[in-house]
């Protein structure tokens, strides 16, 4: 007998001894330790009786398992026998015999066995019968595709989203000429989309509606007690902005003259409330995209609808693969780390997928005009006045000419929101606009225009228009994911049961379990 790489070989007879034809009996005695296996809802002895590697057949194979009287009450009544080549599910006979000193199970082959065929039996016990029991593991090659799927699916989705985003990028980076007027007949919602910050479009439209006198800001509740400005105007904190938004509503949204703008504002600001966490309905995003496409600014498509529809399935695949691998008995930290990486990649892909197609030639021209306007609005005030004085088509401004300055600058406030310049422009024209209490002031509360604009246009990192499909997808995925896990768990998954149904319950096969092996001639 010798052992090599964990495999024990027993040699019978001698290479130098010739056996005459006849009948010979050999008794081989050996001891197994820790042979119990964990299954779903219990434990079992799952044993390969003679092995499936014999090059010769057997006329008959029988194996007997004796259970001592002390363990008889731990039997759960499950027992099964399998015969045939490795992997076969053909059943054979297993009988139970009860006696005073215990119970025995005898598995017997049904007929002769051919070469490389064997008998495997399994007997079930109640959970925790054996203190030490192994949990079967799926072979590495079977686990590898599932392990790779959890991360590769997310990586592939992110790559697709990134390529789509790259294809939708503007095709020109040429520096635009400075201009003091916005593009003609360009809706603010479309301007924000072309600029690449579609999430700021609704706020810009809201500010424009207030400037046109179609919408009014009014207080809700005892606003003066909630927040009262103290000291000179300043940038509000996140908490102050939240309290400010909670303290007023935008009235008159239903009275906005332009039909498309009215519908969009009502959808983006339900009940006149400004809620940064509000995710617009998919139809609202479709209406916004249709507006941009109807103006010839972007090519149709590119909304990633196919991605949104398949996203739930991809997310569910990662989740189920992770749970499946965990149930296989893999190292938990490897499985869950890989699963988490795949999940994060899918989330990133959802938020990177662009919501619009590429800019058209006209869209590129409009983008150039917006870049020129942004250059004008981001200048220092003295440089801006100097540029206006040197441009023949521009109005003349003097440092002390506040009325003319407000007349020129006030219509540009929505674009300050689009360009992210609301802080500097609120300070620039805020003092002059604060005097018009009928438009900007909220009842008797002392709130400066700069603080009002800051609270309305507070950066909303989680509500970008390009993020909305991702957030909607995640919302749908959470429901589908919970449903999938419920169905999966109802099917009998669980860590304690190992990777299979259990041989004693009919889920085994010939060649499975412990023991086995085979033999060959000298």
DSSP state of 239: H
Residue 349: its H or E element = helix 332-352
Q: Which domain holds residue 384?
A: 151-170+188-468
Residue 456 token pair? 């309305």
- CA separation for the pair 490, 432 (Å, rounded): 67
Q: Is residue 461 part of a domain?
A: yes
Residue 468 token pair? 């909305």
Q: Is residue 12 part of a domain?
A: no
User: Both 376 and 426 in a single domain?
Assistant: yes
Residue 283: its H or E element = helix 282-294
Top-confidence range, 53-62, 285-294, 451-460, 466-475: 53-62
User: Both 448 and 506 in a single domain?
Assistant: no
Write out pLDDT tens, residues 417-433. Answer: 888 887 777 666 655 55
User: Both 337 and 402 in a single domain?
Assistant: yes
Q: Where does the pLDDT of residue 325 fall: very low under 50, low under 70, confident under 90, or very high at 90 and above?
A: low
Task: Give residue for tokens 């603080």.
Answer: 451
Tell whether the model's pLDDT for residue 104 goes beyond 90: yes
What local confidence, expressed as pLDDT, does residue 310 receive?
Answer: 59
User: Both 199 and 292 in a single domain?
Assistant: yes
- CA separation for the pair 445, 443 (Å, rounded): 6
Residue with more model confidence, 477 or 6: 6
Say if pTM beats, i.e. exceeds, 0.85.
Answer: no
Burial of 349 from C-beta contacts in 10 A (0-12 / 13-18 / 19+): buried
Tell whether the model's pLDDT for residue 11 goes beyond 50: yes
- The answer to whether the beta carbons of residues 368 and 172 sit under 8 Å apart is yes
Task: Give residue for tokens 């002059």.
Answer: 432
Q: How many other C-beta atoms can be found within 10 angstroms of the C-beta atom of residue 292?
A: 26
Summary count for the chain: helices (H), strands (E)? 18, 12
Q: Is residue 379 part of a domain?
A: yes
- The answer to whether the beta carbons of residues 109 and 119 sit under 8 Å apart is yes
What local confidence, expressed as pLDDT, does residue 505 receive?
Answer: 61
- CA separation for the pair 206, 158 (Å, rounded): 34
Average pLDDT (279-307) is 74
User: Both 303 and 398 in a single domain?
Assistant: yes
Q: Which of 115-124, 253-262, 408-417 has the lowest mean pLDDT?
A: 408-417
Q: Is residue 485 part of a domain?
A: no
Q: Where does the pLDDT of residue 408 fall: very low under 50, low under 70, confident under 90, or very high at 90 and above?
A: confident
Q: Is residue 200 part of a domain?
A: yes
User: Both 458 and 322 in a single domain?
Assistant: yes
Q: Is residue 15 part of a domain?
A: no
Residue with more model confidence, 450 or 373: 373
Average pLDDT (396-406) is 59
Tell whether the model's pLDDT for residue 281 goes beyond 50: yes
User: Both 350 and 321 in a single domain?
Assistant: yes
Q: Is residue 447 part of a domain?
A: yes
What local confidence, expressed as pLDDT, does residue 44 receive?
Answer: 93
User: Both 353 and 311 in a single domain?
Assistant: yes
Q: How many other C-beta atoms can be found within 10 angstroms of the C-beta atom of residue 20?
A: 5
User: Both 322 and 222 in a single domain?
Assistant: yes
Q: What torsion do the CA atoms of 441, 445, 451, 452 make, to the nearest 10 degrees?
A: -50
User: Both 128 and 221 in a single domain?
Assistant: no
- CA separation for the pair 415, 433 (Å, rounded): 17
Cα–Cα separations (whole angstroms), residue 346 to 397, 466, 486 = 53, 15, 22
Write out pLDDT tens, residues 147-200. Answer: 666 677 778 777 887 787 777 666 666 567 888 888 888 999 899 888 888 888
122: nearest Cα among 15, 36, 244, 34: 36
Cα–Cα separations (whole angstroms), residue 6 to 3, 28, 470 = 6, 19, 52
What local confidence, expressed as pLDDT, does residue 263 receive?
Answer: 87
Q: Is residue 7 part of a domain?
A: no
Q: How many other C-beta atoms can be found within 10 angstroms of the C-beta atom of residue 74?
A: 16
Q: What is the DSSP string of 297-344?
A: SB-S--S-HHHHHHHHHHHHHHHHHHHHHHHHT--HHHHHHHHHHHHH
Top-confidence range, 83-92, 215-224, 242-251, 387-396: 83-92
DSSP state of 185: T
Tell whether the model's pLDDT for residue 489 goes beyond 50: no
Average pLDDT (340-356) is 72
Write out pLDDT tens, residues 22-74. Answer: 888 888 888 888 889 988 788 999 999 988 888 888 999 999 999 999 999 99
What local confidence, expressed as pLDDT, does residue 283 receive?
Answer: 77
Average pLDDT, the chain: 72
User: Both 156 and 131 in a single domain?
Assistant: no
User: Both 352 and 451 in a single domain?
Assistant: yes
- The answer to whether the beta carbons of residues 55 and 115 sit under 8 Å apart is yes
DSSP state of 419: H
Residue 280 token pair? 């617009």
- Total domains present in the chain: 2
């Amino acid at each position: 007998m010798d052992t090599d790489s964990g495999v024990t070989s027993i040699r019978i007879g001698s290479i130098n001894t010739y056996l005459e034809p006849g009948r010979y009996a050999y008794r081989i005695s050996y001891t197994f330790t820790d042979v119990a296996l964990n299954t779903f809802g219990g434990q079992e002895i799952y044993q390969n009786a003679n092995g499936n590697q014999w090059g010769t057949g057997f006329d008959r194979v029988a194996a007997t398992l004796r259970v001592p009287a002390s363990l008889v009450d731990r039997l759960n009544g499950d027992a099964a026998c399998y015969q045939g080549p490795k992997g076969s599910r053909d059943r054979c006979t297993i009988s139970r015999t009860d006696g005073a000193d215990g119970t025995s199970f005898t598995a017997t082959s049904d007929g002769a066995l051919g070469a490389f065929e064997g008998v495997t039996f399994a007997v079930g016990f109640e959970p925790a019968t054996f203190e030490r029991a192994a949990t079967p593991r799926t072979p590495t090659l079977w686990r590898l595709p599932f392990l790779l799927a959890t991360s590769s699916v997310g990586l592939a989705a992110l790559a697709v989203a990134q390529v789509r985003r790259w294809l939708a990028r503007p095709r020109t980076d040429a520096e635009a000429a400075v201009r003091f007027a916005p593009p003609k007949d360009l809706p603010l919602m479309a301007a924000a989309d072309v600029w690449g910050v579609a999430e700021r479009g609704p706020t810009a439209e809201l500010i424009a509606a207030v400037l046109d006198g179609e919408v009014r800001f009014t207080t809700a509740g005892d606003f003066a007690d909630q927040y009262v400005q103290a000291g000179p105007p300043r940038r509000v904190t996140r908490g102050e902005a939240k309290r400010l938004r909670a303290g007023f509503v935008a009235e008159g949204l239903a009275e906005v003259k332009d039909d498309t703008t009215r519908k969009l504002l009502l959808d983006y600001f339900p009940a006149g409330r400004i809620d940064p966490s509000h995710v617009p309905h998919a139809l609202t995003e479709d209406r916004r995209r249709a507006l941009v496409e109807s103006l010839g600014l972007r090519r149709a498509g590119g909304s990633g609808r196919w991605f949104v529809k398949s996203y739930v399935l991809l997310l569910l695949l990662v989740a189920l693969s992770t749970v499946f691998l965990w149930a296989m008995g893999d190292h938990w930290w490897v499985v869950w780390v890989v699963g988490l990486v795949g999940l994060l990649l899918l989330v990133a892909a959802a938020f990177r997928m662009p919501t619009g197609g590429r800019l058209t030639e006209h869209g590129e021209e409009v983008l150039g005009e917006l870049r020129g306007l942004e250059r004008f609005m981001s200048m220092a005030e003295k440089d801006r006045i100097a540029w206006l004085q040197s441009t023949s088509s521009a109005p003349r401004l003097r440092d002390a000419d506040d009325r003319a300055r407000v007349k020129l600058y006030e219509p540009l406030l929505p674009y300050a929101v689009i360009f992210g310049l609301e802080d500097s422009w609120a300070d620039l024209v805020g003092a002059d606009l604060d005097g018009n209490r009928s438009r900007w002031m909220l009842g008797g509360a002392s709130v400066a225009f700069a603080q009002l604009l800051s609270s309305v246009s507070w950066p909303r990192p989680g509500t970008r228009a390009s993020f909305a499909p991702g957030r909607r997808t995640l919302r749908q995925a959470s429901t589908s994911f919970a449903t999938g896990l419920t169905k999966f768990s109802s099917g009998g998954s669980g860590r304690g049961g190992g990777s299979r149904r259990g041989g004693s319950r009919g889920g085994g096969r010939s060649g499975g379990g412990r023991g086995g092996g085979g033999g060959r001639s000298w």
